[in-house]
Structure 1
Amino acid sequence: MANKDLVTFVKKTGIFLLPILALIIGYFYSDPFKVNHTYKAYNNQPIELNQGYISWQSFLNHRDSLKYDSFILGNSCTMAYPTTIWKSFLENANPIRLNANSESLYAIYKKIKRLDESGVYIKNVLLIIDNNTLGKVVKNTSHTRILHPDISGISETEFKKEFITAFFNPKFLIPYIDYCIFHTYRKYMRGVIMEKDDHRNQLTNDIRNPRESEIEQFERQYWVTHKKEFPARELHIDDYSQVIFNTQKKMLSEICEIFKKHKTDYQIIINPEWSQRKFNNQDLIELKNIFETDRIHNFSGKNIYTENQEYFYEKSHYRPLLGRIILQEIYTE
């Protein structure tokens, strides 16, 4: 009788554990977040990956052969500044984009420090910032934001633990399984599955927004189709609140010292926004107290750039069309 009970228990336990075991095997086999192995390229990935990890790993993959010396840092708005365009304004430069989605000042600070500590020559820097970036000064350990172990110094085990934990979260697992079975993007999958694949250059991390193809095909009709993504602007828009305080000042000052050490030709761009909300004036003063004034370029607020809807994909991101104009203005001053 006892043996029968044991057999029944094993069978029932096996039925329960088999799906979990299958998921674990599937996780390590498919490596959905692309962090368990090193890859030469990260194109054609349906999963929303950790952009900061990918960009830094691409840098590590090719730094010895390509001798990177010029760096674009910031959030997803850095896509408006492809290295191919930026390079045309530089002299004998080997640029790479070291971006991350929703990038923080903390992450930018850690990346620049790591470049310096690694003995990398920091010849040119394009620093793309906004109020949101400057307000973040603590490390983020979520799987989409956690820094590469080479930057943070955490163990590989601790780093990878965040991803396997995220994998078993129902918010990820359900849309992931749905997509694996039906290969169909659904709106509820946003943040887990990409609606369209970004076209990434494995050597420079340049990304071509898939909406650019839509604009090429439909031209001005694009902005009619996407009208809801451009909310009406208020008659009176308050400036952003101040975000640069002591912690930010310390990080920014250390970044400036590294630039001085390398005699870096750096340019700091404050993002233009469709909302036309203006960067805080006291924050602008603080930036000018730390960095050279003529290297800080504020494109926020109401101006000829934010007035033109065709410079934007939607309310949050602007196009390389505007990025080129901004670079032209900066480097011909």
Structure 2
Amino acid sequence: MLHHSSRISPKTRFCLKLLLLILPLIPIVVVYFMFDPYRVLHPYKRFDDSPMLLNEAHVGWQNYLQNRDSIAYNSFILGNSCTMAFLTGEWEKYLDKNDHAVRFYDNGESLGGVRQKLQLLDSVGAPLKNVLIVLDKKSLDKNAPLSGNNHLFSAEAAGISQLGFQLRFLQEFLYPDRMIPYIDYLIRHKYAPYMKGVINPGDPVREPYTNNFINPREKEIAQDGEIYWSRHEKEFKKRTNAGMEELPVIFASQIQVLRSIKKICDKHHTNLKFVIGPDYYQKKASREDIKILKAILGDSAVWDFTGINEYTADIHHYYEPGHYRPLLGARLLKAIYQDQDTCHRQ
């Protein structure tokens, strides 16, 4: 008597094994398409109500695209996460009455990433009347856009198809360290420490429409006052190299990127401000780099707040060494727009 298994061809047997491997993924894929955890499957006007920590560059891009018909954005804050210190409402105080600002940034943004975003904004006809670029010394030597799904915000910008764009996010979700925290949170609606970096642990972290960042540490400071810096004392390591000048990082490839940025700004007659933020450790940006930046972008466009100065001296200006607060951002904007004759600009 023949066994049924002997009648199954190798090809069929392979397909059955493959099906067994795929079956557990089906409900996970269903969850992905039902809840759209990364907010990439459908257009959204708001992103402030998502439990998932989202791709910030994608949020910024979609926030602009989905709201530009109702809000006449013409002023853009570009750069890295230190843009959190520059609130759109504060910046608008120094712009024309009918100007509308929006924040379009990326974590760890590169010089090449800024150019890419300006090119994309230009390609869709965005009116680039005012542009505020906020970077730090580490960003200047990165002449290419950042890679990886955390920085993927547009299929067109990445040079891939829409299908390829969507598959990248689906594949990201299938990693257990992304999928498990999200599904757990969907079921229990409760944050757990192991979800750090995947799920937002508390209140919304961004404002709708402007994309201003809401740092939960600001609330902590308001509640605790001076105790905040005592509690976080270990984060603020000794400034052992204060005043030391950094080595130059701007060379031929960076110069090419800067010239591209300048070309786009010239096309739109943009009022450009290029800020190198106040590093807590007070290391000074290279004088040669600043000289090149001014030669390409214009002397009045480049603002270097690094080194030992009134902005970096006060620990109360910082959440932690990597990020400074909006109260300092407001001071820097005032220095740029109101005190140009007396401000320390190098």
TM-score normalised by L of structure 1:
0.91
Deviation for aligned residue 1:204: 1.1
Partner residue in 1 for 2:334: 328
Whether the 8 Å contact between 2:241 and 2:281 is mirrored in structure 1 is: no
Larger radius of gyration: 2
d(CA) in 1 for partners of 2:242 and 2:307? 11
Whether the 8 Å contact between 1:71 and 1:96 is mirrored in structure 2 is: yes
Q: Counterpart amino acid of 1:117?
A: S
d(CA) in 1 for partners of 2:259 and 2:36? 39
Extract unaligned runs of 5+ from structure 2: 341-346
Partner residue in 1 for 2:137: 131
- Equivalent residue for 1:38, pick from 43, 46, 54: 43
Partner residue in 2 for 1:253: 259
Q: For the structure 1 residues 141 and 157, does the alpha-carbon distance in structure 2 shift closer, same or farther, using more than 3 Å as the test?
A: farther
Whether the 8 Å contact between 1:45 and 1:197 is mirrored in structure 2 is: no
Other structure's SS at 2:261 match: helix
Q: Counterpart amino acid of 1:196?
A: G
Q: For the structure 1 residues 231 and 188, does the alpha-carbon distance in structure 2 shift closer, same or farther, using more than 3 Å as the test?
A: farther
Q: For the structure 1 residues 293 and 37, does the alpha-carbon distance in structure 2 shift closer, same or farther, using more than 3 Å as the test?
A: same
TM-score normalised by L of structure 2:
0.87
Partner residue in 2 for 1:58: 63
d(CA) in 1 for partners of 2:263 and 2:61? 22
What is the count of residue pairs matched by the alignment? 331
Deviations 1:298-329 (A, max 9, x none): 11111111110111111111011000011011
After superposition, the CA RMSD in angstroms is 2.4
Other structure's SS at 2:132 match: strand
Q: For the structure 1 residues 43 and 256, does the alpha-carbon distance in structure 2 shift closer, same or farther, using more than 3 Å as the test?
A: same
Other structure's SS at 1:73 match: strand
d(CA) in 2 for partners of 1:124 and 1:282? 26
Whether the 8 Å contact between 2:129 and 2:269 is mirrored in structure 1 is: yes
Whether the 8 Å contact between 2:85 and 2:329 is mirrored in structure 1 is: yes
Deviation for aligned residue 1:199: 3.5
Q: Counterpart amino acid of 1:43?
A: D
Other structure's SS at 1:199 match: coil
Residue identity over aligned pairs, in percent, reads 38
Deviations 1:262-291 (A, max 9, x none): 221111111112111221222112101201
Whether the 8 Å contact between 2:243 and 2:307 is mirrored in structure 1 is: no
Taking the TM superposition and a 5 Å limit, the aligned residue runs for 1:306-325 are 306-325=312-331
Whether the 8 Å contact between 2:242 and 2:282 is mirrored in structure 1 is: no
Partner residue in 2 for 1:288: 294
Deviation for aligned residue 1:136: 2.0
Partner residue in 2 for 1:201: 207
Extract unaligned runs of 5+ from structure 1: none
Farther off after superposition, 148-157 or 70-79: 148-157
